Amino acid sequence: MRIGAGSAAAGAVAKITLLEPSSMWGADRAVAASDRVRFAAIGTGTRGCQLLEASLLVPGIECVAVCDLYDSRHEAAQESVQKKVPATRNYREILDRNDVDAVIVAVADHQHRRVVVDACAAGKDVYCEKPMSHTVEDGFAMVDAVHKANRILEVGSQRVSSIVYEKALEIYASGALGEVFFIEGSSDRNSPGGAWVYPIPPDASEQTIDWNAFLEGAPKRPFDAARFFRWRCYSDYGEGLAGDLFVHLLSGIHFISGTNEVAKRAQSSGGLFRWKDGRDFPDLIETLYDYPKFRVALRCNLNNAGGEPIRFHGTKGTMEINGQTLTFTPQNVSPKPETYSTLGWPARLRKQYLAQWKAEHPEPAPLDYEANEAMIFSAPEGYSDLAAHQARFFDAVRTRKPTVENEVFGNHAAIGCHLANYAYFENKIATWDAAAKTIRG
């Protein structure tokens, strides 16, 4: 289909292609009974329940137990998985079960390390939600735990398994963008929910929630439902906008550009302008990253809804991902005589230059892509990158071949978030010291 493209360059036409989901996601793909993977979910809050619902689309897996610190979430998890599976507050009971091959860990970020390290030691493979780590130290402890126990770990930035990102990777790797020196991404929202001001359920109390278990690895304090349900706002449990949202942008950028390393340096700016509810983090943050081959500019703003675009600016074209749509717009780089700077020349010299230019360029050079024609690729209605990402994890559990977003990839993306916060809070350029595995100012 060809249409005049709103999002592409003015006057351009665009070719739209509907992407075919790969067999990875094929919900109808048969899996032998002997290959069935039994899993349990640890942390069945908002994300845990989403993951359980999406797991119903993945063939050859079965949820056998769920775990959460808040009792009403046992019920929510059973509703999501459409089965009255056993539920507990204590994740160690899950790890002790011999019928559990793998665990999906969707607990608050400060608990990732504890649960993942214990799960690996218990011989379970792990799907761990993003960002992998709460601190740099946590990330390396988790990598060590996975390697020591020879486990499969996939981090939960699901877009890395999206067909849209696969197409972006193909375009990037083809060289159609030319050389890419600048990549930008943003994640902007404008609502209380977007700013993590989540409602507190009416039955929330110290009786229904294991508050002390939630505080493991964090400073002790009296029960505070806001901290339990809006933990992203507090540095004891979350990493603010960088950990929550930059991590998706960084994971996507790393995947598409074939980068599996931490940026060398980061500089941040921002501020807390509007959501002054006692939170520790800014509601606007912008970070500039120095990678060896390109620079990356990221922004999160909770004061204007702008979606989550990622843009790759190449010498031959621009590629933008926005939601489930990818647009590639070539730049017209066919050779042409330079006319602007010759405006200050007398007509006879201009004529002479143009004649010489024409003689030196008898034919226009062929273009890789037809100039002025944008290409738009879109995922079909109902496509779930979350189910695709889980399918990839469970396939890795069967084949023992690591997924792309494994512990090393996830650790690198998370360190990018820690760099952004370090630069913001320390008011310094954050430098990554890879040998010492630490951030320096």
Ligand X SMILES: NC(=O)c1ccc[n+]([C@@H]2O[C@H](COP(=O)([O-])OP(=O)(O)OC[C@H]3O[C@@H](n4cnc5c(N)ncnc54)[C@H](O)[C@@H]3O)[C@@H](O)[C@H]2O)c1
**Backbone conformation region of residue 307, classed left if phi is above 0, alpha if psi is from -120 to 50, else beta:** left
Spatial contact of 320 and 309, defined as CB atoms under 8 Å apart: yes
**DSSP letters for 34-74:** GG-EEEEEE--SHHHHHHHHHHTTSTTEEEEEEE-SBTHHH
Beta carbon nearer to ligand X, 43 or 330: 43
Residue 30 beta carbon to ligand X: minimum distance, rounded to whole angstroms: 28
**CB closer to ligand X out of 157 and 329:** 157
Task: Return the SS3 of 187.
Answer: strand
Cβ 186 vs Cβ 306: under 8 Å:
yes
DSSP strand E in 307-400: where? 310-314, 317-322, 325-330, 373-378
State in angstroms the smallest separation of the CB of 335 from ligand X: 45
Backbone angles phi, psi at 37, to 5 degrees: -105, 130
Rounded CA-CA distance 328/375 in Å is 5
Closest by Cα among 62, 108, 8, 53 to 376: 8
- Of the two residues 178 and 194, which places its CB atom closer to ligand X in the complex? 194
Q: Which residue, 402, 384, 382, is CA-closest to 393?
A: 402
CB of 27 to ligand X, least distance (A): 20
**Close Cβ partners of 338 (under 8 Å, ≥ 6 residues apart):** none
Nearest approach in angstroms of CB 387 to ligand X is 13
3-state secondary structure of 198: coil
- Among 108, 105, 130, which residue's Cα sits nearest to residue 39? 105
Residue 131: is the preceding peptide bond cis (ω within 30°)?
A: yes
Q: How far is the CB of 309 from ligand X (least distance, A)?
A: 16
> Residue 155 or residue 183: which is nearer to ligand X going by CB?
155
Q: Which two tokens stand for residue 335?
A: 């050779």
Residues 69 and 87: their CA atoms lie apart, in Å, by 10
In the chain, the N- to C-terminal Cα span, in Å, equals 52
Q: Shortest distance, CB of residue 9 to ligand X, whole angstroms?
A: 32
**Minimum distance, C-beta of residue 155 to ligand X, in the bound complex (Å):** 9
Residue with Cβ nearer ligand X (57 or 371): 57
Q: Measured from the CB of residue 232, what is the shortest distance to ligand X in angstroms?
A: 7
Q: How far is the CB of 258 from ligand X (least distance, A)?
A: 22
110 vs 299, beta carbon nearer ligand X = 110
Return d(Cα 302, Cα 274) in angstroms, integer. 8
Q: How far is the CB of 404 from ligand X (least distance, A)?
A: 15
Residue 180 Cβ vs ligand X, minimum distance, rounded to whole Å: 25
**Which is closer to ligand X, CB of 102 or CB of 375?**
102
Q: Footprint of ligand X on this chain (CB under 6 A)?
A: 42-43, 45-48, 67-70, 73, 91, 106-109, 111, 115, 129-130, 156-158, 213-214, 231, 244
If DSSP codes are grouped into helix, strand and coil, which group holds residue 219? coil
Q: Give the DSSP H/E element, type plus range, for residue 225.
A: helix 225-229
Cβ proximity to ligand X: between 161 and 329 the closer is 161
The residue number with the shortest CB distance to ligand X is: 45
Q: Which amino acid is at 302?
A: L
Residue closer to ligand X (CB basis): 5 or 195: 195
Looking at the Cβ atoms of 108 and 136, the one nearer to ligand X is 108
Q: Which two tokens stand for residue 395?
A: 């396939």
> Is there a contact between 397 and 101 (Cβ–Cβ < 8 Å)?
yes
Q: Please, which residue, 173 or 200, has the CB nearer to ligand X?
A: 200
